[in-house]
Structure 1
Amino acid sequence: MVSICPNCKGLQNRLGASDLGHGHAPQRTQWLSTTLPDLELSANEGCRACSLLLQGILLHHHRFAGAKQGDVKIKAESFNDSNAQRHLSVELRWVQPDFDIPDQHEMNGDDDSEAHPDLKLEFFVDVSTPSPFPAIGTGRHLTNDSLQNTGISTIRGLIQNCVAHHSSCQQNASTALPTRLLDVLSGDDPDGVRLCLIESNGSDQSYEVGEYCTLSYCYGTGTKIPRTTTKTLQAYQKNIPWIVLPRTFQQAITLTRDLGVRWLWIDALCIVQDDVTDRDREIQNLDTIFGNSFLTMAATSASDSDHGLFRSKITTDKLPVTDNTGWVSDVYVREQPTHYSFKASFDEEAHMNDWELPFNTSPDVNLHTPLLTRAWAYAESLLARRVLHFTDSELILECREGYQCECERIDNSLYDSRATNTVKQELSRMLSEAVSESDLSTSSETLRDDRADSLVSKFAATSINGPTEALFQARDDALQLWSYIVTEHTARKLTHEEDRLSSIVGVAKVLNRIIQSGYVAGHYTYSTLGLLWYPNDGNICHRPDNSVPSWSWASIEGSPIFFDNATAMDLACTASFSAKDGGRHAWSPTRGGAVTIAAAMATEAELRIDATNEYSLVKNSVSVEFRPDTAPTHGHHDIKSGDALVCVLVSMTFRSSIIGLVLKRSKSEPEKYRRVGRFECYDCQKDGTDDDPEDAESLFGYWFPEIEDMTKLDDGPRQTYIVI
């Protein structure tokens, strides 16, 4: 009788392997759960299957060289996939998971909530090759060089699948080109590249149309990046020397040519960097630049522009294996393509109100995809029709309807039950439905920057007669989505923090097709609730001394910004926004002036800071907790115990809490105020008593005894505060 290896069951089907699936066709079958020393023992005792697994694992020994062998835990399982991917997945763990870090659990669809493995390998054979072990099935080869024929063919296949099947990703044949583009097919010189001014100088504004690509990348140190300036503009219009271009630029140019596209947009070269007017105009036109692009190439795994789009990919090793009949087969082993940066434990069927944010920004998850940690790149990916991510493991195409990848497993819950990010798809769906609902015949996506700004202003000034309930709901949903986008955006990095508003203006313009509102310094003037933002952790935040007004979320740096948009009761508080120069412009995306707040329920309260640095506000011997925007406070926004602060009640939420703003009178301009924080009152406490706290609604009676009928707030007097 043949003995069966107790460790791996000989990797033979149905020989004692545990069924992780259900019914007659198990989807996942676990073959192995052991440690590295036990696997070595089985291999030394003659188990051919364990010997093969050990060989493949030791090819990657450098990954766990510093770990104790007894700490290296190994699990192997195979899959019954209808797409004929039946590789053997081998997971190794040697680092104790930290469950306090977000996204460090439920990373692989496991019910035991283990952290994602420290190393994940896959063993597979070719489709035409018989496998020496039934548990090792067929796999899919990945391209090693995206500029070779097989790589270009793979890229074309991903794009063509999107073009052919995704209605949201379709493109107008008469798409207008940006102001400047790189002509990558000019002249007889194979390395010839020149900068072209596309915009006509004539008064008829007859712009050229066509296909072009865009590049999204990390600047890095930026010391070697060539930039178009007022001094280099004329020379670059004749020729840009190939040798001065960093590797990422060179490879983007080569791929654009290989795809048969003439034009390429790269920000450093297509925007005159030392011309403030040109830079501001082009930044405010990013919605059309990326939205009209045929393809955005993303150097997702490159930390700077010198690394290139196509970094060295994961190698695939070939191991010859002899089965029990003497037949020699090749088994391939490689590090499994990872989708960790693109997925998270997230319910994609959930309503926006139940989304967990930020989606997936933990440092270890994005270690190999630095571009995904950048704020500019996040906004570009939302605007782009389709983004081709070049990662260390494979190509991933992100478009307005989902994701594709080379291994074809990114959205397959069999291999990873976590969901991909749906914000881009939700944005696309909203825009499609909004255009249908309002029957807008002209989309700002097909307009140039000057006409797009005109359209935005028109939207803001238009009075909508008899809007449907669906249109109201669409605007509210768009505002909700905007707040989530700001949270994701502020969770990402910026080299220059003063770009916080500039980097997101393109997304704001796109959403304004639905909201149809004024927009000042990051806020749609349609809603006062946008002022109820708060930093996730004020202890790590700071307020730089810049031109951003205190009422804007962009005045705070260092932490993701969250919002309170859902309200059960409006407490008769309104806000009127103005631009930096004091005018009431409808569209002032990066500069804001004062906000005039008119509130029916506003009062002065005393600040109290206890020994543990807990903040509270007290009036009539009744206190509520208070959360300053930064702790400790400093500069113009410095507050001390005993200070008199103004509390402006804005709304009551479905959580039965009262939310408001906390203002401090400006020392330099006593008639004006600065925001220092936000409070959310769930309950209030009487001083000097041991009574249990009373609910939030009791605060109305203690702080505003003069208001006898809450239903008549809109008809009563209001106090006005100018917030700078």
Structure 2
Amino acid sequence: MQRKKKALWPQRRSTTQTRHKRCQICHDLDPRGHAGSTYNSEAENPLASLSVVLDLFSLAKTKDTREGGCRFCNVLIQALDALSPGWRESFQKAFMNLNEKGTINIEIDSEKWKGEMIEIYAGSASRAPWSTLGTAHHIPSNSGSDDTFNFARRCIQDCLTSPKHVNCRLPSKASASSPKRLLDVGRVTVPIRLIDTQGKAFEYAALSHCWGTGPTLTSTKSNWQKLASNIPFEVLPPLFQDAIVIVRQLGLRYIWIDSLCIIQDSVRDWETESAKMGAIYENSYVTLSATNSGDGNTRCLVDRQKPVRLIYENTTGKESMLRARKIKDHHPNVHEATPAKPFGRLVTRSWTLQEHVLSTRVLHYTESELLFECKTSFRCECRPSRKSYPTTPALIPKAVSKSSRSQSAVWDAWHRIVEEYSKRDLTVPNDKLPAISGIANKIKAATKSRYLAGLWEKNLASDLLWSTSLSTLPDAHYFALSNYRAPSYSWASLDTPVTYHSSEANEEEAFTPTITLLSSSTSVSGLNPLGAVSESSIELQGPIKHAILMCTQREGLWVYTLVIKGTNAITISHDCVLVEDKIATNSTTRAHLQMENVSEQKPGTTVRRAQCGDRPSDFKAPVLCLGVARYDGWISGLVLGASKTSEEAFERLGTFSAGTEPFQHAQTKEVILR
């Protein structure tokens, strides 16, 4: 009998018999072979990535693995149960990102877990339970660990020595302006004390922190001499103690802490030193940002949540150990050119924004890990590699570097900063302009423009067209302030988030101001020339149209509509809740409002911003519309009502946008805004 010859290679079984059908919910946590899979074509061995939407309702009903359920879905369920309790009852969807040889990231689409991600990864590359799953960088379990301090030192040293970090170079000691006082933390055996720098330059760290509502240690006229002699370590708030530990670990001797280095009950000292705060943070060796600390009693050197262990069982019943941890979505977005987003109590405070923007180097002590930013790059403990990412400290230097061609980059940077700043909270309302004066000083130096209480003369038309973001029922934030803080044409006159129109490149070219600044007057109320103001006004010349402003309530919200002759009704973007008011009979503004015979006009009335205690109601009253700029067949401008404090001035009520037709025959007039 003739024997059959053996094949040189084992024959493959038919793929139609062995092909595994992927789970329709999780796609077996495999980024390959899906209709939405993408591949990095630039790599020698292209790696796949996949973004899918998880149906959490279907996932919650998945059977256990032992009952025939998907073993990959079981991994997701374990992670969600451990790190996002309550997800089963949320009936939300989640976004899952899979990266070949990388981690699995899950983000639940819910306010409850906003900004949080669950990261699933293998314990080690050699024991990955399936081929596409990768490992993650180790994050130490305590922010005061040797590993974390080594990471901080490495980030700072790389910034100091890299030839690419040109923007991170501090001025020479001879030219650097020093704070008036510093805290000398010395060595463990030497007393901690406040020193007067006497104009000399020192290498120091700066602390960016929340004061909170409780008591904190401060310098006053009565205790300054005592603090200059000896401050026992145990007397310092816990956060200050941690800051001193960090400073010593970084090999420094001095730190600037605002509550101690400024005499808090001296108006002159506070105004002088607070005006220098931008330079103090910019010239510091590093800023220690206590991002997750709500007050001085909340430490920043703390234990972190440890990763949880997950069990994965393969088809043969063999168990493997995976890990999952909760991380914040803090990473920069290179494609959208957006910087890192540290999460914590600190990012809700107004003063700390300029501390972040102007610092040369920042260590952010967050809940989950340490982040590092400088004017060139970003690194964090979960992504420690050196790369040139967008950063907040780089925002102004990059804009200024482009200003040689056009100042639009600087104005755009200012608008983005004001938008973020207006979302934040102030303990002292009158600090609204002082708390951003350090940034304003940088903008002034770059543009040589006059500062008009939050606006810039060289960009006045665009700056005037800010608008509020009012999307909920009116509350205290959506009423005018009881006391004067800034002119009505400035965003600083309100406590509400504001936005600016973000123009495309072709719109910027078409943007044409229709106003001329005739005069301006601003009186500051302190020693900071870019700080608090006691009075400010501008006189403009531009196209004016008379209109009736109608107020009605729809679904619990007040809606304000303009009626201008020759056009359809226009819904305005109102600055806050508005109310009808009377005008003095001899008022110059009354004559302006009555110059044109407008139907349904109620004589002797105007509209003003409502204050707490006013009772809003429906109304119809005359207003002026000032065209500020034209672009793409549209005209945008301000809605104005008669001022209550000046018989010849008007105050801003909101903004409007309309077609140019109603303004074709508008009269050019002068108007004073306060």
State the TM bucket, normalised to the shorter chain: 0.7 to 0.9
CA-CA distance at 1:37 after TM superposition: 5.7
TM-score with structure 2 setting the length: 0.76
**Structure 2 CA distance for partners of 1:666 and 1:88, relative to 1, 3 Å:** closer
User: 1:337 maps to which residue?
Assistant: 327
Separation in 1 of the partners of 2:129 and 2:428?
56
Which amino acid in the other structure matches residue 268 of structure 2?
Answer: T
- Are 1:379 and 2:354 an aligned pair? yes
SS of alignment partner, residue 522 of structure 2: coil
User: 1:41 maps to which residue?
Assistant: 64
- Are 1:89 and 2:101 an aligned pair? no
Verify the 8 A CA contact 1:594 1:722 in the aligned structure 2: no
CA-CA distance at 1:133 after TM superposition: 3.7
Residue from 256, 271, 276 that aligns with 1:265: 256
Instruction: Identify the range of structure 1 (585-594 vs 479-488) with the bigger mean alpha-carbon deviation.
Output: 585-594
- Are 1:123 and 2:121 an aligned pair? yes
**Structure 2 CA distance for partners of 1:561 and 1:39, relative to 1, 3 Å:** closer
User: 1:431 maps to which residue?
Assistant: 400
Verify the 8 A CA contact 2:207 2:287 in the aligned structure 1: yes
Separation in 2 of the partners of 1:238 and 1:214?
21
Separation in 1 of the partners of 2:283 and 2:219?
22
**Structure 2 CA distance for partners of 1:211 and 1:46, relative to 1, 3 Å:** same
User: 1:157 maps to which residue?
Assistant: 154
TM-score with structure 1 setting the length: 0.72
Query: Residue by residue, what CA displacement relative to the aligned partner does 1:281-300 show, whole Å, maximum 9, x if unpaired?
Result: 22211221111111111122
User: 1:246 maps to which residue?
Assistant: 237
**Structure 2 CA distance for partners of 1:611 and 1:36, relative to 1, 3 Å:** closer
Separation in 2 of the partners of 1:610 and 1:318?
57
SS of alignment partner, residue 528 of structure 1: helix
**Structure 2 CA distance for partners of 1:479 and 1:169, relative to 1, 3 Å:** same
- Are 1:663 and 2:647 an aligned pair? no
- Are 1:197 and 2:196 an aligned pair? yes
- Are 1:21 and 2:38 an aligned pair? yes
**Structure 2 CA distance for partners of 1:32 and 1:280, relative to 1, 3 Å:** closer
**Structure 2 CA distance for partners of 1:614 and 1:38, relative to 1, 3 Å:** closer
Structural RMSD (CA): 4.3
Which amino acid in the other structure matches residue 210 of structure 2?
Answer: C
- Mapping of 1:442-591 within 5 angstroms? 470=405, 473-474=406-407, 476-529=408-461, 530-537=463-470, 539=474, 541-544=478-481, 545-562=483-500, 568-580=511-523, 587-591=529-533
Separation in 1 of the partners of 2:524 and 2:286?
39
Which amino acid in the other structure matches residue 615 of structure 1?
Answer: Y
**Structure 2 CA distance for partners of 1:622 and 1:239, relative to 1, 3 Å:** same
**Structure 2 CA distance for partners of 1:12 and 1:610, relative to 1, 3 Å:** closer
User: 1:450 maps to which residue?
Assistant: none
Structure 2: gaps (5+ residues)? 1-16, 582-606, 611-617
Which amino acid in the other structure matches residue 466 of structure 2?
Answer: W
- Are 1:632 and 2:582 an aligned pair? no
Verify the 8 A CA contact 1:579 1:594 in the aligned structure 2: yes
CA-CA distance at 1:119 after TM superposition: 5.3
Separation in 2 of the partners of 1:516 and 1:78?
49
User: 1:697 maps to which residue?
Assistant: 661
- Mapping of 1:394-409 within 5 angstroms? 394-408=369-383
Identity %: 23
Separation in 1 of the partners of 2:624 and 2:351?
36
CA-CA distance at 1:261 after TM superposition: 0.8
CA-CA distance at 1:308 after TM superposition: 1.4
User: 1:61 maps to which residue?
Assistant: 81
- Mapping of 1:142-153 within 5 angstroms? 142-153=139-150
- Are 1:275 and 2:207 an aligned pair? no
User: 2:336 maps to which residue?
Assistant: 348
**Structure 2 CA distance for partners of 1:651 and 1:312, relative to 1, 3 Å:** same
Verify the 8 A CA contact 1:479 1:515 in the aligned structure 2: no
Query: Residue by residue, what CA displacement relative to the aligned partner does 1:302-332 show, whole Å, maximum 9, x if unpaired?
Result: 2333221133312034679899999998x45
User: 2:181 maps to which residue?
Assistant: 180
Residue from 653, 667, 675 that aligns with 2:651: 675
- Are 1:648 and 2:626 an aligned pair? yes
- Mapping of 1:705-716 within 5 angstroms? none
CA-CA distance at 1:400 after TM superposition: 1.3
Separation in 2 of the partners of 1:587 and 1:236?
31
More strand per residue: 2
Which amino acid in the other structure matches residue 512 of structure 2?
Answer: M
SS of alignment partner, residue 594 of structure 1: strand
Query: Residue by residue, what CA displacement relative to the aligned partner does 1:459-501 show, whole Å, maximum 9, x if unpaired?
Result: xxxxxxxxxxx3xx22x33223212211111022222332211
Structure 1: gaps (5+ residues)? 81-85, 105-114, 201-206, 350-354, 413-418, 438-469, 684-695, 705-717
**Structure 2 CA distance for partners of 1:26 and 1:622, relative to 1, 3 Å:** closer
Separation in 2 of the partners of 1:542 and 1:515?
34
- Are 1:79 and 2:79 an aligned pair? no
Separation in 2 of the partners of 1:224 and 1:586?
27
CA-CA distance at 1:259 after TM superposition: 0.3
CA-CA distance at 1:381 after TM superposition: 0.7
Which amino acid in the other structure matches residue 650 of structure 1?
Answer: V
SS of alignment partner, residue 514 of structure 1: helix
Separation in 2 of the partners of 1:294 and 1:219?
22
Separation in 1 of the partners of 2:521 and 2:346?
35
Separation in 2 of the partners of 1:318 and 1:348?
34
Separation in 2 of the partners of 1:618 and 1:32?
46
Separation in 1 of the partners of 2:524 and 2:134?
68
Verify the 8 A CA contact 1:624 1:681 in the aligned structure 2: no
Verify the 8 A CA contact 2:115 2:328 in the aligned structure 1: no
Verify the 8 A CA contact 2:187 2:248 in the aligned structure 1: no
Separation in 1 of the partners of 2:318 and 2:465?
70
Separation in 2 of the partners of 1:617 and 1:14?
54
Separation in 1 of the partners of 2:311 and 2:372?
34
Give aligned pairs, total. 600
SS of alignment partner, residue 467 of structure 2: strand
CA-CA distance at 1:660 after TM superposition: 2.5
Separation in 2 of the partners of 1:313 and 1:226?
27
Which amino acid in the other structure matches residue 490 of structure 1?
Answer: S
Separation in 1 of the partners of 2:367 and 2:50?
28
Separation in 2 of the partners of 1:620 and 1:245?
67
**Structure 2 CA distance for partners of 1:623 and 1:126, relative to 1, 3 Å:** closer
SS of alignment partner, residue 458 of structure 2: coil
Separation in 2 of the partners of 1:528 and 1:656?
20
Which amino acid in the other structure matches residue 595 of structure 1?
Answer: S
**Structure 2 CA distance for partners of 1:637 and 1:278, relative to 1, 3 Å:** farther
Verify the 8 A CA contact 1:569 1:651 in the aligned structure 2: yes
User: 1:461 maps to which residue?
Assistant: none
Separation in 2 of the partners of 1:621 and 1:321?
71
**Structure 2 CA distance for partners of 1:55 and 1:600, relative to 1, 3 Å:** closer
Verify the 8 A CA contact 1:525 1:577 in the aligned structure 2: no
CA-CA distance at 1:377 after TM superposition: 1.8
